[in-house]
Amino acid sequence: MGIFFMDGNSICKDGRKLAIVEKLEGIGYCDEFNMIESGIFEWTRSILIKGTSDENYQNLQMGIQIIAPIDFYMIPGVTYNGNKWGNGKEPKGLSLEGEPWKFGYHRCGIPAGMYCQNEEFAIGMWGSLESTLHFSSIMDRNEENKLSMKLQFPEQEGPVIYCAKDQYEKGQYLESFLLEADKIELKAVVVVCEREKEYDYAKYLHTAWRYFREISKPKRSKKEIWELGFDFMRNSAYFEDASFCGFCMGLTWSGTQWIQKKDYLEIGWVGQNASLAVSLIYKHAINGDALALQMGLRILDSWIEHAVLPNGLFRCRFDKILIFGDNQDNKDERNDAANLYSVVDEYLDAYQLLKEMGIERENYKVAVLNLCNLMVRIQQDDGKFGKAWFNDESCSDTDGTIGCYIGKALSIAYRLTGKEEYLTAAMKSLRFYYEDFIANGYTTAGALDTYCVDKESAIPLLGAALELYQCTKQEQYLEKAVMISNYLATWQYHYNVDFPETSLLGQMKYKTRGGTAVSVQHHHIDCFGLTFYEDWILLAQLTDDIIWKERAEALWNNSLYNISDGTLVIKGQRRPRGSQDEGFLQTRWHTKKGEYFGVSEWLVVWNTAFRLKILRKEYLANKRVYSKNKKKI
């Protein structure tokens, strides 16, 4: 293998030029390259300022042009090969009406990060926050179809700003920035490596993770998070009426108070009724809370009573059950793969824990296995499942990686039952969805309100790979888990955005490192990455690669910001104990009131459910170890 090095204004290997550093015309400057190791360079461009008019400094750039044609490019969390998949109106391609897209550095999980690869090598670039000015990313092609990656100084967004789902507004270009200084310094990092796998951004991502070392850890103990979670669940999210007992999807501000939002009463996904109910049962197992056990059983029993269909399908939204009742022949109910996965995962967890406690709920197991049997029966020959099904088991949407949730569910059922047909179906499913991921370079169609490239649909792909590795011990599944994890890491924030002091997030001192962007159609941060926290902890153990543990811990730490202790007031609104926003707007993205760098003002239940699920397993494991050691004494 050759060594990558800088030779004048070129990136070279074995005496051949691979990429050219683009010149800056009409401006005095000098470049300095510091090779940290083979293939990793720090690049400083010093610009002469003194005595020069502002107008000459509105378009400063640091650019690298790739000589050979590329076959994949990416701005992590923003565009994956041009976002060709899906019917949304998110930014497509490299330009709009001939003008290159310019994205502010904070729109990407690596500041103004860009990456591309061809048959021979992979190269990535990002801007250093030590630069005198903030900056943007630009990827474009010249007349010869050669791709360039450019950092734009000062920060600009255009030709229009993608500001909300499928919405745009006028581009933003910062005004004059002439400084009373002799020079300014623009800094970048360039990472280049050999091609070895289908996608070789692992070195780029790992280098960025090590480069930004600031650790963000809010002062929240696990005990406090545990208690706040149950406070919010019981006192704010729970409700019951004549036909339903369970949890709303969160709280919204009515103008005078927080009210429960009941549009979607889901078993999983946004509603997380099953997970929250199972956490209540765990609470009883851990500390003997009889009321928690009673509430948890009542919720799970109610869903089983009303949602199980004769064909084995499970009706995933109780709000639809309340509307249609026994009239199941409608096209407004779609029982999706993500929610059906929660049925399998949570009910089997509850079944096994209750059995240990001497409480019989055989009907939980029966309902789950009937669902699994149905999924095996309707799986396509190529391994594909689909995204969602009507009550008559006909498929309402066949596309999207999200169907892999069923494969993960079947692998969980296999571990309980040993039924080979479940394992076979899970293996077929992973093969189909993984090959689709490799063919495209992205996963698709996770959230039910979007149809685009996203991170959420890769989560079951990772989970299925790890489940199958544990079932079979075949190395191929561990290798797949690493590849999928690298893709998920492209959605994670590696650094802390420098928010304007006047912005809400700036005043809150919110830290972005560890959070995950949602999709190319939703440019904000959430803590949905908690759903693969345990997968990354396990991956670190299986591979002896500590970076996955570090990334997992960062996911957890980021999820602890802005959880109310009952006294938190934002914009004059006191937040209930345990509540937290669904999203944090780390870039020029709108809340309902049109603010940049703010919060969503929707206090959801799913983030609480995910944290409690992580903690309940840890707490129960600790109790079991304590009880075992106590008996020995």
Is a pLDDT exceeding 90 seen at residue 448? Answer: no
Please provide the average confidence, as pLDDT, over all residues in the chain: 94
**Among candidate residues 619, 487, 508, the one with its CA nearest the CA of residue 569:** 508
Detail the DSSP E strand segments found in 2-146. 4-7, 10-13, 16-21, 29-37, 40-48, 60-66, 72-75, 79-80, 95-96, 99-100, 103-104, 114-117, 121-127, 136-141
- CA 427, CA 472: separation in Å to the nearest integer? 10
- CA 537, CA 441: separation in Å to the nearest integer? 24
Mean pLDDT over 259-272 rounds to 96
- CA 225, CA 126: separation in Å to the nearest integer? 35
Confidence of residue 179 (pLDDT cuts 50, 70, 90): low
Which of the pair, 331 or 414, is modelled with greater confidence? 414
For residue 69, is the peptide bond before it cis, meaning its omega torsion is within 30 degrees of 0? Answer: no
**Among candidate residues 109, 102, 108, 116, the one with its CA nearest the CA of residue 73:** 116
Mean pLDDT over 31-39 rounds to 92
- Give exposure, 413-449, as e/b (b: 16+ Cβ within 10 Å): bbebbebeebbebbbbbbbbbbebbeebbbbbbbbbe
Is a pLDDT exceeding 70 seen at residue 281? Answer: yes
Q: Which residue type, as a one-letter code, is found at position 375?
A: M
Confidence of residue 478 (pLDDT cuts 50, 70, 90): very high
Domain-located, residue 318: no
Is a pLDDT exceeding 50 seen at residue 446? Answer: yes
Q: Please classify residue 534 by burial: count the beta carbons closer than 10 Å to its beta carbon, then call 0-12 exposed, 13-18 middle and 19+ buried.
A: middle
- CA 309, CA 235: separation in Å to the nearest integer? 32
**Where in the sequence is the domain holding 189, given as residue range(s)?**
4-211
Number of H helices, E strands in the chain: 15, 32
Q: How many CB atoms lie within 10 A of CB 385?
A: 29
- CA 359, CA 113: separation in Å to the nearest integer? 53
Mean pLDDT over 181-199 rounds to 93
Asked if 407 contacts 464 with a C-beta cutoff of 8 angstroms, the reply is yes
Confidence (pLDDT) at 7: 80
- CA 201, CA 531: separation in Å to the nearest integer? 23
> Which among 26-40, 45-59, 253-267 has the top mean pLDDT?
253-267
Confidence (pLDDT) at 585: 97
Confidence (pLDDT) at 218: 83
Question: How does pLDDT run across 148-164, given as a tens digit for each residue?
Answer: 999 999 999 999 999 99
Domain-located, residue 409: no
Mean pLDDT over 462-477 rounds to 98
Domain-located, residue 413: no
Token pair in block for residue 300 = 């799970």
Domain-located, residue 143: yes
Question: How does pLDDT run across 336-358, given as a tens digit for each residue?
Answer: 999 999 999 999 999 999 999 99
Confidence (pLDDT) at 350: 98
Tell me the DSSP string of 370-384. HHHHHHHHH--TTS-
Q: Are strands 40-48 and 60-66 parallel, antiparallel or unpaired?
A: unpaired
- CA 520, CA 513: separation in Å to the nearest integer? 19
Q: How many CB atoms lie within 10 A of CB 288?
A: 9
For residue 159, is the peptide bond before it cis, meaning its omega torsion is within 30 degrees of 0? Answer: yes
Domain-located, residue 549: no
**Measured CA distances, 398 to 337, 380, 385, 444, 548 (Å):** 11, 10, 7, 12, 32
Residue 137 phi, psi (nearest 5): -110, 145
Domain-located, residue 77: yes
Confidence (pLDDT) at 479: 98
CATH value at residue 201: 2.70.98
Detail the DSSP E strand segments found in 544-623. 569-570, 573-574, 602-604
Tell me the DSSP string of 257-305. SEEEE-S--BSSTTT-HHHHHHHHHHHHHHH--HHHHHHHHHHHHHHHH
Domain-located, residue 136: yes
Name beta bridge partners: 64. 21, 149
Domain-located, residue 327: no
Confidence (pLDDT) at 257: 96
Number of structural domains in the chain: 1
- Helix (H, G, I), strand (E, B), or coil: what is residue 396? strand
- Residue 599 is given by DSSP the state B
- Angle at which helices 404-417 and 362-378 cross, to 10°: 130
| Cβ contacts of 345 within 8 Å, gap of 6 or more | 409, 412
Confidence of residue 176 (pLDDT cuts 50, 70, 90): low
Q: How many CB atoms lie within 10 A of CB 101?
A: 23
Residue identified by tokens 């008996």 is 631
Percent of the chain with pLDDT over 90: 85
Mean pLDDT over 225-244 rounds to 96
Residue 328 phi, psi (nearest 5): -90, -5
Confidence (pLDDT) at 593: 67
Mean pLDDT over 577-592 rounds to 94
Confidence (pLDDT) at 178: 59
Evaluate the CA torsion angle 165, 166, 167, 170 in order and state its sign: positive
Token pair in block for residue 178 = 């002439």
**Among candidate residues 73, 77, 63, the one with its CA nearest the CA of residue 29:** 63
Percent of the chain with pLDDT over 70: 96
Confidence of residue 54 (pLDDT cuts 50, 70, 90): low
Is a pLDDT exceeding 50 seen at residue 633? Answer: no
Confidence (pLDDT) at 632: 46
Name beta bridge partners: 32. 44
Asked if 250 contacts 261 with a C-beta cutoff of 8 angstroms, the reply is yes
Confidence (pLDDT) at 175: 63
Mean pLDDT over 261-278 rounds to 97
Is a pLDDT exceeding 50 seen at residue 377? Answer: yes
